[in-house]
Amino acid sequence: MFCKLALRNVRRSLRDYAVYFLTLTFGVCLFYVFNALDSQSAMEFLRAGRGSGTVEAIFRLVEVFSVFVAAVLAGLILYADRFLIRRRKRELGTYYLLGMPQGAVARLLVGETLLIGLAALASGIALGMLGSWALDRLTLSMFLAVPDSLAAFRLSLPAVGKTVLYFGGIFLLVMLLTGLSVSRSRLIDLIRGERKNEEQARRPLGESVFLFILGCTLLGTAYVLLLTRGLLRVDGIFFLMLALGTAGTFLLFRSLSGFLLRLTRGHAGYYRGLNMFVLRQWSGKVHTNCLSNTAVCLLLLLAIGVTACSAGLNDTISGAVGEDAPYDLTVLNYGRGAVYERADLAALFRGAGIDPDTAFDRMESVTVYYNDPAVTGVGEESAYAAVSLSDYNAEMAGRSLPEMEEGDLPAKTEYPLVNGPAAQGVIVVPNAMTAALEPRRQMVNINYRGDTARVDAAVREALERGGFGRGLDIQGNYRLDTYYDLMGNKLLTLYMGLYLGLTFLLTAAAVLALQQLSQASDNAVRYQLLSRLGAPEKMRRRALTAQVALAFLLPLVLGIVHAAVGMTAANAVIAQVGKVDSVRSSAVTALFLLVVYGGYFAATCLGAWRAVREAGGRESGSRPFR
C-alpha cells in the first residue's frame, strides 16, 4: 500500500514539480555528457593524433570540475527537497493523524525520493547519450578534415557508472536527511505548517537608504580592487575583494525592497491596476529571499563570466590557426651536415612515390639567408634571417596579399612567409642584395590538392621514412599539427566553459523557479481573492507574469553588472594571449542565457499560473456564466 501511495504521490509531484524533475534530469544529463567525453570519437581522434596532451588535460579537468559540479547540484537538490517537504507538511500531518507510524511516513518519503531519483537518473542518462552524440557531431563538424568512419553513436559505461555513483550518493544523502527531519518533526508543527507569519514589518526608510549606500560602497570598492589589481593575483586582498562583493550584493538585495517601495509609492503608477499588488508581492519575497538571491546572483555571475570567457578565448584561438600556418606544409631543408644545399623537392617527392603535379596545388621554394647587419643595415637582434623581394612577392601573390615595393626595403615581413615559428623575425631585402648574403636554408611551401587528410598522411609517411632527403636533413611543418594543437586548446576551453557555465546557469534558474513555484499555494489564495474582486483573468495573468519576471530579472541585472566588470578584468588577461572578440562572445553568452534562463522563466510562469488556476477552479469549478 505504501508503494502505491508513494507512486501516486510521485506522479502528482512530477506534474507539480516538473521544473524540479527537469532540472534533475538536465543535471544528470550534463554530468554524463562531460564524463563520457573520453568515449567520443572526436576525442579519440585527437588523442590518437597530435593533440593528445590537451586531450589528457581535458579529461583531468573534467574529473576535477565534476566533483565541483556534483557539489553544486547536491546543494541544489537538497535545497529543492527541503522546499518540497515544507510544502507538504500538512499532508504529512494528515498521515500521522490517520495513525500512520512515524517510521512508515519516513519510509514513504524515502521511497518517493528513491523513485524520483531513479526516474531522473534514467531519463538523464538517456538524454545524456543523445547529448553526448550531438556534442560529438558538433565537435567533429569543427574539424577541417576527419575520416568518415567516426561519429558513431557510442555508450560510455564508465560514465554511466560514475553518474550513477555520484547521483546515487546525492539521492542517498537526501533520503537520509529527509527521513531524519521527518522522524524528528512534531505533529503540531506539521498541522500548522501552512500557517506562517508573513514577516513584513515596515523598515524605516533611513535604514534602507543607509544599507543601500553601504552596499553600493562595498560593491564599488570590490570593483575598483578587481579592475586595478587584475584577476590573477590570488592573495589575501583577492579574497577580501570577493567578500566585499558578496556582502555588497547581499546588502543591495536586503535594502532594495524598502527602498523601491518608498520610491514608487508616491508615484501615480502605484495605484494603477495590480501594480501595487505585484510590487508588494515581490518586495516581501525579495527581503526574505535576499540570501538565496545573493547566491543566485553570484551563480549567474559565474555562469556569464565562464561562458563569455570561454567563447572569447575560443575565437581568439580559431583566429590563430591561419596566422601560424598559412600553408598546408612547409618543408625545411637544413642542408647536408648543417651546410646549405639546395634540393629539388619535386624530384625527391617523385622518388618517394608522390607526384607533386597531382598531389599538390602549388609548391614554391624560398631561400632564406643569414642576416648580415653589415649588408642589410638591420641589427641581428630584430631579424635573424632575410629573403629576397621576388621570393616574398611570389608567396604573397599566391595568397592574394599585398606585395612589397623595392623602395621600402629592407623591411620586416608583413605576413608570415612559412609555417611555424621560423616565420617571425625575417626581413625582406632587394634581390640584388642577396648575392652578398650567405644562404641559410631552403623552405618549400606546399598546398595539397584534394582530400587534405589523405594527402597529409601520405606526405608525412614519405617524409618520415628514412632516406627521403638522400642525406639531406629535411623536416616538415604541417598545418594540421598546428591545427590539432589549437583545436585541442579550443575544445578544452569550450567544453570547460560549457560544462561549468551550464551547471551554474541551470542551478541559478532552478533555485528561482522553485522559489516561485513553492509560493504557488499562498499565491492561489491571493489570486482567487483578486478574481472575486473582479480583476479579469488577463489582468491577473499579467500580474503573475510580472511577479515572476521581477524575481528572475533582479538577480540577472546585478549578475550582468558583476559579469561586465569581471569580464573587463578577464579580458585584460586574455588580451595577453590574443585579441578578444567581445561582441561575439557576448552574443554567444546572451544566447545561452536566453535559452536556459528564458526557458526556466517560461516554465515557471506556466507552472505558477496553472497552480493558481487549479486552486481557483475549486470555487468556480462549474465555470458559471461563460
Contact residues toward another protein (CB under 8 A) are 197-198, 200, 202, 268-277, 280-281, 284, 525-526, 528-530, 532-537, 539, 619-620, 622, 624-626
226/279 with CB nearer another protein: 279
Kindly state the cell numbers that stand for 228: 586595478
Give the integer Cα–Cα distance in Å for 403 and 386. 16
Give 358 or 625: the residue with its C-beta nearer to another protein: 625
Amino acid type, 527: Y
Distance, CA of 261 to CA of 283 (rounded, Å)? 7
User: CA 516, 21, 173: angle at the middle one, nearest 5?
Assistant: 100
Q: Quick count: other Cβ atoms within 10 Å of Cβ 383?
A: 21
**Residues near 536 by Cβ (< 8 Å), separated by ≥ 6?**
none
Dihedral angle computed from the Cα positions of residues 262, 267, 269 and 270, in that order, rounded to the nearest 10 degrees: 30
Beta bridge partners of 448: 360
Q: How far is the CB of 241 from another protein (least distance, A)?
A: 37
Closer Cβ to another protein, 388 or 515, answer by number: 515
Smallest distance from the beta carbon of 159 to another protein, in angstroms? 48
* CB neighbour list of residue 566: distance below 8 Å, 6 or more residues apart: 226, 231, 301, 305
Helices (H), 533-581: 537-577
Q: What is the dihedral of CA 547, 548, 550, 553, to 10 degrees?
A: -170
Burial group, residue 157, by CB count within 10 angstroms (0-12, 13-18, 19+): exposed
Task: Read off the DSSP letter of residue 386.
Answer: E
Least gap, CB of 274 to another protein (angstroms) = 7
Min CB(133)–another protein separation in Å? 49
DSSP helix/strand/coil, 496: helix
State CA 625 to chain mean position distance: 52
- Give φ, ψ of 475 to 5 degrees: -130, 165
State the minimum distance, in angstroms, from the CB of residue 543 to another protein: 10
| Least distance in angstroms from the C-beta of 197 to another protein | 6
Q: Which is nearer to another protein, 407 or 621 (CB)?
A: 621
**Residue 541 Cβ vs another protein, minimum distance, rounded to whole Å:** 13
277 vs 370 by CB, closer to another protein: 277
Please say which residue, 80 or 274, places its beta carbon nearer to another protein: 274
Per the DSSP assignment, residues forming a β-bridge with 363 are: 446
Which CB atom, from 539 or from 573, has the smaller least distance to another protein? 539
Q: Taking the complex as a whole, how short is the minimal distance between the CB of residue 556 and another protein, in angstroms?
A: 23
Give the torsion through C-alpha atoms of 156, 41, 57, 313, to 10 deg: -120
Q: How far apart are CA 365 and CA 493, in angstroms?
A: 37
Choose between 197 and 400: whose C-beta lies nearer to another protein: 197
Residue 509 CA neighbour count, 13 Å, CB half: 29
Taking the least distance from each CB to another protein, the nearer of 478 and 527 is 527
Which residue, 479 or 540, has its beta carbon nearer to another protein? 540
Least CB distance to another protein at residue 278 (A): 10
Min dist CB 279 to another protein, Å, is: 9
What's the CA angle centered on 153, arms 148 and 158, to 5 degrees? 125
Given 3-state DSSP classes, what are the helix, strand and coil percentages for the chain, each rounded to the nearest 5? Answer: 70, 5, 20
CB of 517 to another protein, least distance (A): 18
| Adjacent-strand bridge partners of 442 | 333, 367
As a whole number of angstroms, the longest Cα–Cα distance in the chain is 106
Nearer to another protein, 283 or 314 (CB): 283
CB-nearer residue toward another protein: 154 or 262: 262
User: What's the min distance (Å) between Cβ of 273 and another protein?
Assistant: 6
- Contacts by 412-418, CB closer than 8 A, 24 or more apart: 412/382, 412/383, 413/387, 415/326, 416/323, 416/324, 416/326, 417/366, 417/387, 417/392, 417/443, 417/445, 418/326, 418/327, 418/330, 418/366, 418/443, 418/445, 418/477
User: Which among 148, 151, 145 is positioned nearest to 479, based on CA atoms?
Assistant: 145
Smaller CB separation from another protein, 149 or 622: 622
Place of cell 632527403: 469
Q: How far is the CB of 102 from another protein (least distance, A)?
A: 32
